[in-house]
Amino acid sequence: MKIKRDFRSFIELQLTKGNINWESRSDLIRSSGQKISGHNNRILKEYENKFNFGSIAEIKNKAIKNYFDTIPKNSFISVEGAVKIINQKLPKEINISETIIYSRLADPKFNINNLKGQTLDNQVSKFNSYDVIVSKEFKERIEKLKSPGIYLSIEETQRGSKILRLKTSQVCGNLDRSFPPNDGSIRMIKKLLNEQN
């Protein structure tokens, strides 16, 4: 039973010190001076959700991937904001920069949601589709899409532009998205609602 206590004490000491990043489970076991065994693996299994296993690059990639997976397809993201959010979820000694986010956005195998970094150029050009006068006919088409659990409205932004806001109940997919007020958005909203049903 001495081995069990020694290895368990080693694990708890590493957690106390904040030493939670290891290349592999085997690396952690070997560092304790213990042999890799089923017994030590079972002890480690009790604590493994408190450790990050893998190279630093793998840990960063996993955190970025998890963030990208939360963003709707074809969206623009604030790279600076993404860095802040991701760094909050990473261990203190591991940080990412804007450079790695741009690199992962450019990699189609990594960026499967086709996300794009928001720049001043694409931000300004996007405003054109929001600076419109909403017709009575368009408002009537929005009304026809509304149903229990599906809320659509035209909202005015601080800048004075118009947006089409879609909110749905949890039963209808718990969506909360904004769109430019145009026919393309109506088609996209219909498609989103059909996917939820």
Q: Does one domain contain both 108 and 76? A: yes
Structure-model confidence comparison of residues 35 and 172, the more confident one: 35
Mean of pLDDT values over 180-189: 84
Range of the domain at 167: 130-196
Spell out where the chain has E strands.
Answer: 21-22, 52-53, 76-77, 116-117, 150-156, 162-168, 176-179
**Six-digit token pair at 4?**
């069990």
Confidence of residue 58 (pLDDT cuts 50, 70, 90): confident
Q: In angstroms, how far is CA 69 from the centroid of its own chain?
A: 5
Q: Does one domain contain both 61 and 106? A: yes
Residues sharing a CB contact under 8 Å with residue 171, sequence separation 6 or more, in sequence order: 149
For tokens 């299994």, the residue is 45
Q: Does one domain contain both 39 and 64? A: no
If phi > 0 it is left, if psi is from -120 to 50 it is alpha, else beta; for residue 52 that is: beta
Structural domains counted in the chain: 3
Residues sharing a CB contact under 8 Å with residue 104, sequence separation 6 or more, in sequence order: 61, 64, 68, 110, 111
Q: Does one domain contain both 137 and 79? A: no
Range of lowest pLDDT (63-72, 124-133, 153-162, 174-183): 124-133
The answer as to whether 112 is a domain residue is: yes
Q: Does one domain contain both 113 and 71? A: yes
pLDDT of 30 over the 50 cut: yes
Domain boundary, last residue among 80, 97, 118: 118
The answer as to whether 125 is a domain residue is: no
Q: Does one domain contain both 65 and 105? A: yes
The answer as to whether 188 is a domain residue is: yes
Q: What pLDDT is recorded for position 197?
A: 65
The answer as to whether 124 is a domain residue is: no
Q: Does one domain contain both 44 and 65? A: no
State in Å, rounded, how far the first CA of the chain is from the last one: 56
